[in-house]
Chain A
Amino acid sequence: MNSFSFSLRAIVPYLGELQTAVLVTLAMSLATIGLSLAIGLVFAVLRQSRSAPLRWFATAYVEFFRNTPLLVILYFAYFMMPVIGLRMSPFQSGLVGMTLHFGAYMTEILRAGLIAVPHGQYEAGHSQGMTNFQILRHIVLPQVIRTIYAPLGNQLITIILGSSLTSAIAVNDIAAWMQTTGSDTFRYFETFLIAAIVYAVLCQVINLTRIYIGRALFPDNR
């Protein structure tokens, strides 16, 4: 009955496509982190705003996307685009969904970073005659970057893992490679193993790079 034998030979012809798939996963993840950082910065500032409607709007955004599944948001973005008349590739609509979802998490990370800078730091900058922009650039942002550095690294890993769901809306990433190769060769176990290793290696490389760069950038940190 059980005739399972482990063999990687059937997978070899598909390794070239795996390379492209890895690049797609990386492109999706890096684009998401860049865009969600931008969105997060806007909403983090809005959450501190003096205007109550703006604060409410930003909070609603964060709470909604933190409490809905990424997969549903991806489907929503994917099916909405053609209806509202936007012709987008699966990659593009996937990026929209990813950015909306992870932007909410990024808002919270950045907000925590901004809150961590004490009021006295702004005052010290002002008392020395700095402009608001100089204070932001020389005093606040360097400190925010320090606080959010580690959570940001974790977030990048979460984003890479989460990007596998874009395979459900026809993005040709590593997870999609795994599904097509698995069903083509019927070597599910082997393809899954390879995909798992690729993801795990990506995550660990990022993790180690983060720690290494962190030590170089902030030698004084704690």
Chain B
Amino acid sequence: MHETYGLLEYMPSVFRALGLTIWLSWLSLIIGAVGGLVLALMRTSGWRVLSVPALLYVEIFRSIPILIILFFFFYGAPLVLGINVSAFAAATAALSAHASALMTEVIRAGIESVGRGQWEAAQSSGMTYGQVMRHVVGPQSMQVILPPSVNIYIMILKESSIASIIGYVELTATGLLIREAHGGGFAILGIIAILYFIVCYAISLAGGALERRMKIAGSGLHMDGTR
């Protein structure tokens, strides 16, 4: 009882740290989404020069632990490039790299879910590749892209806890610091876990609601008979 009471005074810093965790993961998701879009366009371009490197990127970042990517950016890159990399920058880079690999597959599936008929109709009306993507294929593929993106965000948010290993003081690291300052125990880590749970679970509930709404709004979307 007494132990849990004593932990209360740390709560402001815990919530500040939670803010950093959300900021770090959100930033990584945005960068990852942009990277994933570029890679997905390369993957679906039909040109091997573009699609093969994109495929390699995805395969590599899906079969290496995120921890190694993180260490590479934090310890390896400064040695190779001779620049200083902050823990925040290294964590953002590693999480973005992983997120972009995951987003590539999701966006690719979204683009491929739009039937050929849509391409043919749009191109026959004189649209360029960019216009077809922006006005026809893009909006339609969102229904397929958004729901798994929510899961990727949750995954990145959980993964951002590894930033604590290189000394970036986000939520997990804050928990470990409080534990030490507080003389051991494990209650604070339980609290940290519950905080992660509340945030992630809320996001997944919101994602589920979004998915249901899009299904209703999107019914009748594929009118070319492909799906």
Interface residues of chain A, those whose CB is within 8 Å of chain B, are: 1-2, 4, 63-64, 67-73, 75-76, 79-80, 83, 157, 161-162, 164-165, 167-168, 175, 178-179, 182, 186, 188-189, 192, 195-196, 199-200, 203-204
Contact = CB atoms under 8 A, between A and B. Distances in A.
A131 B64 CA distance: 46
Interface string B185-200: 1100110110011001
Contacts of B165: 71, 168
Interface of B: 60, 63-68, 71-72, 75-76, 79-82, 154, 158-162, 164-165, 172, 175-176, 179, 184-186, 189-190, 192-193, 196-197, 200-201, 204
Contact of B76 (A68, A69, A165, A192): A192
Given A69-B158, A192-B75, A192-B76, A199 B184 contact: no
A192 B68 contact: yes
B190 A76 contact: yes
A81 B216 CA distance: 49
Query: Which 4 pairs of residues, A with B, have the shortest CB-CB distance?
Result: A2-B82, A67-B200, A164-B65, A69-B161
Contacts of A182: 71, 75
Nearest to B65: A164
A161 B175 contact: no
Contacts of B67: 164-165, 167, 175
A126 to B, nearest CB: 36
B158 A157 contact: no
Contact of B193 (A73, A162, A199): A73
A68 B82 contact: no
A192 B200 CA distance: 31
Contacts, number: 112
Main secondary structure of the interface of A (DSSP, over half): helix
A72 B76 contact: no
A5 to B, nearest CB: 10
